Structure 1
Amino acid sequence: MVIDILRADPKIELVGCIDKDPSLRSVARLPVLGDDSLLAGLHAQGIQHAFIAIGSNRVRQQLGQQLESLGFRLVSAISPFSWISDSAQLGDGVAVMPGAVINAEAKIGRLSIINTGATVDHECDIGEACHIAPGSALSGNVTVGKGTFLGTGTRVIDAIEIGPWAMVGAGSVVTRPLPGRCTAVGVPCRVIKLRTDD
């Protein structure tokens, strides 16, 4: 999906993918160049920009730091079939998939994913390296902490705060604040587990 979105941007020329799987030769007709050991050399050859197309919030955040330490600038993949308010703010390395809507004065943190058909309403604040899964809907003034994952079809009512590194199960309806590092599910959503890790 990310390759398709980046191909639609006339300002971007795709060179190839990096992957740990040595058996991969191409992804969506784009060559796999090799693994992460090539990154420094690619940058030295003049490739200045990168995008991290990995679903894991933690891994995406770590790779973002690694790429930036090597001198890469993170580009964003914004589908031409999404709608983003002129007053919304998006960080670097963000993915906004087809059908996504980001409304007035919303903030999307760097390395976050607003997936297919997800809606982020006015004045929401989505932290770094979050994933708002397909079909999720956030009402206005929702705050989502760093590294949080909202599963497919999650609904969040107005002015709710969700702590960092939370995981909310698919189809859940969040009607009250959720702490960080929790796993929460259900309608209405309830915490079923608190974690010590991210």
Structure 2
Amino acid sequence: MCHGPTSGKPQASVLHYIAREWRMLPCWVLGYEASNSRYLVELEDGSQKQVKRLALRFNAEDPQNFALRVETCRAKKAHCELQQAFIKFIESQPDELVSPLRREQKERFIRQGLHRSHLEDSNSFVGHIRDLIREIEENYVLSMKFAKVKNDLILEMGTPYACVRDDTPFAPLLGNFLPCKAPQYGLVAHQASEQSVLEIATHLVQQPTISRNVNVPGSEEQEACFP
């Protein structure tokens, strides 16, 4: 967009701070530095500076499309920054609020994992197992902190009347955890299940973190499932 005769006229406009405000001022585009993704521009007063693409609007660009692109990028950037702040807020919750995984639970997980792995020399995987347990514990603690934060920031959590508190800056991120509005007559469209109940139950009991007896129905459940 900068090639060809320009008759000495500026080729673009650049965002520049002058007289205590940001303005789009005419400029010449002298080059592009790929190492830092910056354009080198020169203003009419002879000053030069390097700028990002979103601060530079070429004359050949549609001003409305450019403004919409800048607005969209700023909104996405703000959303990402809000997500990062929310994660830090969750991580800042006191560790004392979370009950640690018991030693028996971790040992049971390791035994069941090794039993199904059929390793000839399981001792050579001790380091990997420690790393796995550490990762499981970290995810568990973070999940429990997240559950506490949701309970603190969402009023009447777990009920049809749940709503996000008005005084939290993280409200835009918590809408997905609110109950969906019930459709008329409570009718919802759904797809047929890919697996039967027995196939799902068989798969669940093979997981090392789930006890086999959790899927054993009592007499009432048996009558309800198999009348």
The normalised TM-score by structure 1 is 0.22
Give the strand-richer structure, 1 or 2. 1
Please say which structure displays the higher CA radius of gyration. Answer: 2
The normalised TM-score by structure 2 is 0.20
